[in-house]
Amino acid sequence: KAGVTQTPRYLIKTRGQQVTLSCSPISGHRSVSWYQQTPGQGLQFLFEYFSETQRNKGNFPGRFSGRQFSNSRSEMNVSTLELGDSALYLCASSLVLPQETQYFGPGTRLLVL
């Protein structure tokens, strides 16, 4: 069974631009969560989606948004990029409940210049 896939793997943007990251969960998994990893703040929860609905959201500004499609694929968008948004963005999927094991993708490394 294929794992969680994320595209693109690497991205370079400039301040003020916006970016969209994509995540395809493991087949049959319906819950998708997103995390941001930075050296300063560590791994932080962004949001979680199930059945196209956001069930939970972390403490991030409104510039960070996401959505989930009917096939469980998810996208996250960051508008008006800031230097501090440079990070590794990780997507994780689980069957139904996020308390179940979350399996992570390889991440998207975003560099904002």
Partner 1 sequence: AQKVTQAQTEISVVEKEDVTLDCVYETRDTTYYLFWYKQPPSGELVFLIRRNSFDEQNEISGRYSWNFQKSTSSFNFTITASQVVDSAVYFCALSEFDRGSTLGRLYFGRGTQLTVWP
71 Cβ contact partners less than 8 Å away, ≥ 6 residues apart: none
Per CB under 8 A, does 90 bind partner 1? Answer: yes
Kind and range of the H or E run holding 111: strand 108-112
Per CB under 8 A, does 60 bind partner 1? Answer: no
Per CB under 8 A, does 66 bind partner 1? Answer: no
| Number of chain positions touching partner 1 (CB under 8 A) | 25
Preceding amide of 98 cis, omega within 30: no
- Give the residue, chosen from 21, 92, 110, 112, that forms a contact with partner 1 under the rule CB under 8 A: 92
Per CB under 8 A, does 109 bind partner 1? Answer: yes
What is the closest distance, in whole angstroms, from the C-beta atom of residue 105 to partner 1 in the complex?
7
Of 77, 66, 79, give the one whose Cα is nearest residue 31. Answer: 66
Per CB under 8 A, does 95 bind partner 1? Answer: no
Residue number, 11 or 88, with CB nearest to partner 1: 88
